[in-house]
Structure 1
Amino acid sequence: MFAAHVASFAGASEPTAIDLRAAASPWLGARRTDGELSTPDGVGRFAEFEHGYVYWHPDTDAHAIPTAIMDKYAELDWETGPLGYPTTEHSELPDPRGSGPGLAQTFQGGIVYRRAAQPGYWVHGAIGARWAAAGYENGELGWPASDETAHDDGVYQSFEFGRIYWVPEQIVALRNSGEPDTPLGRPA
């Protein structure tokens, strides 16, 4: 409250949610956007920085997205696509197999995972829930290795050590173990 009064007295505008998130995220680097830009829905706003972006929406607040996650976000049409707006800050995830840390960030429509030196992949829905039950990237299936792919009457997603198939009313996880692959048991 005091800072707002001082800013008002000095003729400066009160900092926005994007300004506050950027100040709390020094890894973003220098600001590239003069002010904030409107998103296509006319409700949200964003600003570009040297190493990422900050997106704000009244339903999700302001969250910074690193450039490494932005590649997948852009591929899926930013906030107008199936991901929607970010709902958390990104997390660094250690890789027990030694390829360096990965990143994960949650959006309204799922999570983007990006392993070091690999592309990002979108995990969501029933496949995402099954992968979570298997222990995420540290479980038997490992890191995502693709986005969902259409297959017959359903979809599947490849992971480092297997695949998860979804067809209406059924989901099956398989671990690569030679021929044939081994189905993972249902989590308790």
Structure 2
Amino acid sequence: MATHIFSNDHRRAWVRGAVAATAIAVGISGGVTAVARADQQVGRFLVKGQIEVSYFATGGTPTWGVPLIPETNAGRGGKFQTFKNQASFYWHPAADGGNAHEIGGAIRAKWGENRWENGPLGYPITDELQARGPFNAVTGAMNAFQGGVIYWSPASGAWPVWGEILVKWSSAKRESGTYGYPTGPEIRSATGTYSQTFQRGVISWP
């Protein structure tokens, strides 16, 4: 039976893919390069530091609502804060030059299924961005992470792509290219190969 596994040998491929993913993501960076102002009281809680910078730069209270919790410690030395309108901001000093990024909705839920910032995807390195299909039409959304990406569309749902499969998918123009959006998780077969289904085909490795 095929299972969804992140093995030690595939981890080495993932590291190579993560480097490639980061390089690929440069062209779609959602980084906010601003200096934090004084901490600000928003509703019951303070919004502070780089989370404050990104929160206000991407719309603030009208877009994300008030914070539901104070800024809280996240894995491996980061911080996060959740907000009323189904969004969280995550920050880590080693992620995207120390910028904080927003993640929400179905993409955040799928990231959570993969152990949040402590899983193979790591911290977000972009805010949620529009994803585009053929003819440059907006057809979904995505976030890039330290170790891969999560793409969502109404037709396919939200799924992560990482490692060598991400490299191959990126070379085929991702969601706007040959394969379209991912439609399932990466699967390891009994023979040790990895594959992932997309709207218009399957990508396998090695």
Q: Percent of counterpart pairs with the same letter?
A: 32
2:130 maps to which of 73, 89, 92: 92
Question: For residue 59 of structure 1, what is the aligned residue in structure 2?
Answer: 94
Confirm or deny: 8 A CA contact 2:130 2:140 kept in the other structure. Answer: yes
Structure 2 residue 57 is the aligned partner of structure 1 residue 24:
yes
In the alignment, structure 1 segments of 5+ residues that lack a partner are 8-12, 168-188
- Relative contact order (alpha carbons < 8 A, sep ≥ 6): 1 or 2 greater? 2
For 1:129 and 1:40, how far apart are their aligned partners in 2? Answer: 27
User: How many aligned positions are there?
Assistant: 158
TM-score norm. by structure 2 comes to 0.69
Post-superposition shift, 1:47?
A: 0.5
Confirm or deny: 8 A CA contact 1:87 1:106 kept in the other structure. Answer: yes
Post-superposition shift, 1:123?
A: 0.8
Structure 2 SS opposite 1:143: coil
Question: For residue 193 of structure 2, what is the aligned residue in structure 1?
Answer: 154
Structure 2 residue 82 is the aligned partner of structure 1 residue 48:
yes
Question: Per-residue CA shift, 1:108-166, capped at 9, x if unaligned?
Answer: 11000011254211111111111111121111211111110111221101111110111
Question: For residue 73 of structure 1, what is the aligned residue in structure 2?
Answer: 111
Structure 1 SS opposite 2:196: strand
1:125-164 aligned within 5 A: 125-151=163-189, 152-164=191-203
* Structure-2 change in CA distance of 1:28 and 1:77 (3 Å): farther
Max radius of gyration: which structure?
Answer: 1
Superposed CA RMSD: 2.5
For 2:174 and 2:91, how far apart are their aligned partners in 1? Answer: 28
Confirm or deny: 8 A CA contact 2:130 2:138 kept in the other structure. Answer: no
Question: For residue 165 of structure 1, what is the aligned residue in structure 2?
Answer: 204
Q: Which moved more, 1:69-78 or 1:130-139?
A: 130-139
In the alignment, structure 2 segments of 5+ residues that lack a partner are 1-34, 41-45
Post-superposition shift, 1:33?
A: 2.8
AA paired with 1:161?
Answer: R
For 1:107 and 1:28, how far apart are their aligned partners in 2? Answer: 22
For 2:68 and 2:80, how far apart are their aligned partners in 1? Answer: 9
Structure 1 or 2: larger helix share?
2
Structure 2 residue 147 is the aligned partner of structure 1 residue 109:
yes
- Give every structure 1 segment of 4 or more consecutive aligned residues whose post-TM-superposition deviation is greater than 6 Å: none
* Structure-2 change in CA distance of 1:118 and 1:141 (3 Å): closer
